[in-house]
Amino acid sequence: MMLSKEILYHSFFKNTYSPQDRSAISWIVIVTAIILNLTCYFASAGSFRLVFPITSLIVGIFLYIRHPIHYIGFTWIIWFITPLLARLVDYKVGWDPSRQMLIAPYLVVFITIVTFLKYLPSTSHQEGLPFLLGSIGVFYGFLVGAIYNQPLPVIRSFLDWLSPIIFGFHLFSNWRDYPSYRKNIQRIFVWSVLFLGAYGIYQYVVAPEWDKYWLIQSKMFTSAGNPVPFGLRIWSTLHSVGPFGTVMQAGLLLLFTSSSPLIVPASAVGYLSFLLSQVRTSWGGWLLGIIIIFSSVKPQLQMRLITIILVMTMCVVPLVNIEPMSTVITSRLESFSNLEKDSSFKDRSASYDRNLNLALSNVLGNGFGNIWKVNEKTGQIEVIVIDSGILDMFFTLGWFGAIPYITALIIMIISVIKYTEGRIDSFISAARAISIATFSQLIIYSGMLSISGMIMWGFFAMAMAGHKYYQYNQDHH
């Protein structure tokens, strides 16, 4: 679409342009950024590590100001593709232990701090209370960390904890545009399930060199499998198998709310890759989500849900029965019936036995940066894995920070459970199911951080936004 100089002028400097022009301008900016990044990657991949976060931030700011709907989709996509891009660069020019490219999604999300600071004071005494309480817990952890821990790990943890809250508040505060946001998120996640699922299967069958290189350099053999074809646990374009499981869990539940023609192919590759990821926590979360959705929608929607499940089953079962995928998936499913002998289950149980009393007795908390350490040999920060979101909260935030943070989550759960709009709007039902299912997994891993936290807080916020949208329309008609 060719745009005249006059249209371009008004589009960039005035607020008097049509939605079509605004969308076209947004796509011009996005495509320009893509071309710039591709040129940079092939010409000088090392500089791409710096150019990509900067261009992501610039495009994010532009979309936030001029096309808020596109900003939401852009944010999710940046979260989904940045780890893969980082691996491609590492493979081309060498391992970057600082993982500096992974800052890009946080930069894009932190644009919403403007929404947070602008609108939270006026909504904190109403539906915005959970976001206020959550942020209080986070800022407490930041202050304690700033006193006791090194600056870089503190900032890194601060980004992980606060990003989901401010992004969730941004979604909620735009409740008047709930239908547009709902449509955008549905479309983004359908395409993402298709792309992430397809790449995940490719990753499993082929074991691309950049993924093998990342696996070897990161030394994540215990959690991500062996760097050989048919030996990997799928993490697709994400950073590891856990986040991939959380994203696919959310995406597959959202497929039930969409009427896109892509549902069948997205389901086929989505469910197969989801199973091959072998993330039992997310399998359980998906099942819990199905139960929540099924119990909260009208009989007509229940029948549609059953039909979709049957169609998906017919698509996935033949694929699952192909060797060696069949053996891998079957053995992982069988482990549910023998958890007492499962090494992963034993490790998590032992972690709870060792650390629960220690975490609960730490009243002040260790603050942000306590689960990150600086490697004395390399000078780089490394994460110390705590296989429990609950333990992580008390270790990091202490009682003073964990109480408001957990209270915020409980308030949102109680609120969304009471909503009746899910009976007429399947997206609200799915958003509620996704957020509660992700919350339920906090006992197993730190699902309130990074992309997993984006899923949990984001879909709590969308359910709350949908409720407020319907409530407002009902009161004013």
Looking at residue 361, what is its pLDDT? 73
Looking at residue 14, what is its pLDDT? 42
What is the rounded CA–CA span in Å between residue 23 and residue 67? Answer: 7
Using an 8 Å Cβ cutoff, are 290 and 245 in contact?
no
What is the rounded CA–CA span in Å between residue 354 and residue 361? Answer: 13
Dmax over Cα atoms in the chain, in whole Å? 70
Cα-based torsion angle of the residue sequence 139, 141, 142, 148 in order, rounded to the nearest 10 degrees: 150
Looking at residue 47, what is its pLDDT? 86
- The bridge status of strand 381-383 relative to strand 372-374 is antiparallel
What is the rounded CA–CA span in Å between residue 391 and residue 136? Answer: 19
The residues, any chain, with a CB within 8 Å of residue 135's CB and separated by 6 or more, are 116, 120, 162, 165, 166
Parse the chain into domains and list their residue ranges.
1-112, 124-475
The residues, any chain, with a CB within 8 Å of residue 308's CB and separated by 6 or more, are 255, 256, 263
Cα-based torsion angle of the residue sequence 149, 151, 152, 153 in order, rounded to the nearest 10 degrees: 20
What is the rounded CA–CA span in Å between residue 192 and residue 251? Answer: 8
Using an 8 Å Cβ cutoff, are 89 and 101 in contact?
yes
Q: Which amino acid is at 5?
A: K
Looking at residue 7, what is its pLDDT? 41
**DSSP structure string for 135-187:** HHHHHHHHHHHHHHS-HHHHHHHHHHHHHHHHHHHHHHHTGGGHHHHHHHHHH
Pair of tokens at residue 353: 């036995």
Using an 8 Å Cβ cutoff, are 365 and 402 in contact?
yes
Half-sphere exposure of 469 (CA within 13 A, CB side): 22
What is the rounded CA–CA span in Å between residue 392 and residue 402? Answer: 9
Looking at residue 339, what is its pLDDT? 59
What is the rounded CA–CA span in Å between residue 213 and residue 77? Answer: 23
Question: What is the pTM for the complete model shown?
Answer: 0.88
pLDDT digits (tens, 9 = 90+) for 380-410: 555 555 667 888 888 889 899 999 999 999 9
Count Cβ atoms within 10 A of the Cβ of residue 327 and give its class: 0-12 exposed, 13-18 middle, 19 or more buried: exposed
Looking at residue 112, what is its pLDDT? 96
Centre a 10 Å sphere on the Cβ of residue 350 and count the other Cβ atoms it contains. Answer: 11
What is the rounded CA–CA span in Å between residue 196 and residue 271? Answer: 11
Walking along the chain (477 residues) 10 residues at a time, the average pLDDT comes out as 42 50 83 91 86 96 94 96 95 87 96 93 80 95 91 90 96 95 95 96 93 88 81 90 94 88 89 88 91 84 80 74 72 63 61 67 81 52 64 88 95 94 90 95 87 96 95 80
